[in-house]
Amino acid sequence: MKKIHRLSLIGLLAILLVLISSSLSAQDATYGESPMLKERVDAGDLPPVEERLPSNPKVIPVVDEIGQYGGTLHVGDTGERLDEALRMRHTGLFRYNFTASEYQADLAEGWEWSDDYSSLTITLRDGLKWSDGEPFTTDDIAFFWNDVLNNEEISPTGPGGFWTVNGQPTTLEVTDATTFTYHFGGPYPIAMDSFGRTHFSGDNALYGPAHYLKQFHAGYTEGAQALAEEEGFETWVDLFNARRCQCYQPTSMPLDRPYMDSWIPIEIASDRILMERNPYFHQVDSEGNQLPYIDYMEVTRASDQELYALKLTAGEYDFGVRYTRPSDLQLFRQGEEAGNYTTYIARSLQSSAVSIYFNQNYPDPEFNTLFQSQPFRAGLSMAINRDAINDILFFGLGEIHPATPLKTMPWFDDAWYNEYLEYNPDAANAMLDEVGITERDSDDFRLTEGGNRVSIIVQGLEQHMQGCELIATDWRAVGVELICQESSPDLVNQYREENTAMGTAWHLERSTLFGRGTPDNFAVNDGSRHYWAPQWALWISSQGAEGIEPPDEIKALNEKWNEFSQYPSDSPEAAEVGSEYFSYFAEQMPIIPTVGLTPLPLIYTNRLHNVPTEDVFFASDTNFYAPFHMEQWYFAE
C-alpha cells in the first residue's frame, strides 16, 4: 500500500481557523503582517501580504499565545564562521520535531511513496516565493538537480553516494510546477529520514534560486567566465559556487541572493551579521498572521565560551544554548535576576556524551585481538562508574543509556539495559582475567601475552577529555591504562583514515530517525564516518577494493542493516528488524557508552515569549533550532 503523507490533523484544523473554507486561496483570505512590511505595502514597495503568501501557508501553532510584531533578537556565536546566522533561520522542505522521531512538511505540502518505496513524490506548496518575490517552483528543484548536482564541471563526482541506490543513479521527474519525483535504484525509505533534517532538504541541498544563479552559470549565460574574471575568480564555477552556497560562514551569504528562510542577511561583517524578516516567508500563526513576529535578528561574535557566558548573564543576548556548558549552570542561575533572564534545561539526543571506540582494525596483532574480544570490551564497560560521571559532569541530569538508538525509537528494546552497563569492578576484573591478561607489571597494570602493558591511547576533542579522564581512573582500578589525548577533528579523522588510531573518545549521536539516513557508526558501510571498524566499513563501501575484509559476522550485520533500511521507519517490519540489528551493539559492545541525554543550560530573556521550555532537546540530528520554531517567538515586557 502506498504511504501518503500530508499535513497533520492539527495543521489542517489550524488552517481552517485561518481560511473561510479549505478551497479558499491566500488571495481570498485575510492575513495580518508586520507594521514594517505594511509600511512598504502602503508605499508601493511590496505587494499585499495575501499575494506574498502561498495558497496554503504552513500554520505554526504558537506555544502560548498569538504574538506581537517587532524587535531585534540578539544572539551570540563563538565561531569565526558565525554560522548561527544560518542555523537559526534555516528552512527546508521538511523539518524534525524535538526528538527527531517525526518529520513534518514545511515548504513541502506533502509526500507520497510508491508501493515498493523506490519512488518518492514531493508536492510543494502552491504560490511559494523567494525573498525577492520570484516564484519558488519545481524549476528550482530541477535546476539544482540537473545543472548543479549533475553538472560535471560543478560536481565532477556527481551528486554523491546518497543518491546511488543498489549501484543505480537516482533520476528526477518533474510533473508540474509543484510536483516532482525522485526515482531511486530500489527501495529507499531512509531518504525521508535524511530529509527530515532541514539542512538536507533545504537550500543548496535539494534546490537553489534558479532565476538568480543562471546569470553565473555558463550553461545559461554566455559571459559567465568573463564575469567571473571581472569579480576576481579564476573560473565561472568558482563564481557560481560562491553565489550558490548557503553555507555556514559569512562569505557564503551574498546580500543580493534570494532565500526561502525566515530571516535574510542584510549586513555582514567579520564579527556581526544582521538579518531582516523575509517578507515572503510562507508561515502564519493560527489567526493568519504572517511569521516571523520578530523583525530583525543580530548575531555577534564572542571570542570564547567564557565571554559568551558572561554576555548571557549580563543580558546582552536574548537567547543561548549552543555554547553553554553544564559546568556554567550555577553561574547562569545566580545571574538570573540581574540579567533579567531565566535558565532552563535542554537535553542532547546523544546516546552517550563520551564513548570509547576501540579500533577493531588496529594493525598491532596483540591489541587488535583484545579490541575484537567481546569479554574485553564488556569487562571494561562494567568497570565504568557511570553514576559518578553523571554526577560530576552533568549534575545527575544525564541518563545512562546503551550504545544504541534512543528509547523514543520504535525498535528500542528494554533488554538492551543489560549487566554491561552496571558498575561492577569485581565482574570486570573476572572478565578481563578470562581474556588471558592476568599478569601485571610493577605498577599493577595488566600485560599482554607478549609482555606489553595494556596501555591504550585514544584521541578526542576538548569536550570529551573530562569524561575520558574519569573513565581512565576507573580502568586504572582494573589494571588497564587509558591515555586521553586532546586533538582536533582533522587529526582524529586523519588517524582514522591512516588506521593508526588505537581508539577514539567521541560522542555517540545519530541515535534518532535521522540516524537511518546518516548512520555514522551504527552502520558498517562508510569508512569515512566510522571509528570502531573503519577498515571493515571501507571494504564494504568500496565493494572490496579498499580496506580489510570483515568477518562473516560483520558481513551478516551489514546485510541486516540493508534489510532494515528497506522499510519505512513507521512500519512494523522496521521495528522488528531494527531491534534485531541494534541488539548487536547492546550485546557485543563495539562502542562503550557512558551517559547520554545530557543537559545544556537554555537561557531566555524574560522579555521573550512563545518559547518552548519543557521537553526541549538540542541536537545536530534536528538541525539544532528547527524544532524551536523561532518564527513564533515575540517580545513583550
Q: By CB neighbour count within 10 A (0-12 exposed, 13-18 middle, 19+ buried), where does 20 fall?
A: exposed
CA distance 350 to 357: 15
Q: All 3 cell numbers of residue 113?
A: 511513496
DSSP states of 419-484 as a string?
A: GGGS--HHHHHHHHHHHT---B-TTS-BB-TTS-B-EEEEEE-HHHHHHHHHHHHHHHTTT-EEEE
Angular region, 27: left φ>0, alpha ψ -120 to 50, beta rest: alpha
Closest CA to 11 of 65, 60, 54, 67: 60
Q: Hey, is 533 helix, strand or coil?
A: coil
* pLDDT for res 27: 53
Torsion angle of alpha carbons 142, 516, 495, 247, nearest 10°? 40
Q: Are 438 and 449 in contact (CB under 8 A)?
A: no
Task: Please report which helix (H) or strand (E) contains residue 603, including its range.
Answer: strand 599-605
Phi, psi angles (nearest 5°) of residue 119: -130, 130
pTM of the model: 0.91
Exposed e or buried b per residue across 240-255, where buried means at least 16 C-beta atoms within 10 angstroms of its C-beta = bbbbbbbebebebbbe
- Reported as a single tens digit per residue, the pLDDT across 165-218 is 999 999 999 999 999 999 999 999 999 999 999 999 999 999 999 999 999 999
Q: What is the pLDDT of residue 28?
A: 59
pLDDT tens digit sequence for 411-460: 999 999 999 999 999 999 999 999 999 999 999 999 999 999 999 999 99
Query: What domains are there in the chain, each with its CATH number?
Result: 1-90+261-336 (3.40.190.10), 96-252 (3.90.76.10), 352-596 (3.10.105.10)
* Residues 6+ positions from 554 with CB-CB distance below 8 Å: 524, 533, 536
Specify which residues 124 forms β-bridges with: 108
- CB-based contacts of 155: which residues, under 8 Å, 6+ apart? 148, 149
Report the C-alpha gap between 315 and 318 in whole angstroms. 7
Dig out the grid coordinates for 109 from the structure.
505540502
Residues 6 or more apart in contact with residue 592 via CB below 8 angstroms = 355, 356, 357, 358, 377, 380, 381, 384, 403
Other CB atoms closer than 10 Å to residue 627's CB: what's the count? 21
Decide if 417 contacts 331 (C-beta within 8 A). Answer: no
CA atoms within 13 A on the CB side of 258: 22
- pLDDT reported for residue 203: 95
pLDDT beneath 50: ranges in the chain: 1-24
> Which pLDDT does position 246 carry in this prediction?
75
Residues 601/343, Cβ–Cβ less than 8 Å = yes
Q: What distance lies between CA 580 and its chain's CA centroid?
A: 25
pLDDT at 88: 94
Grid coordinates representing 398 are: 544525564
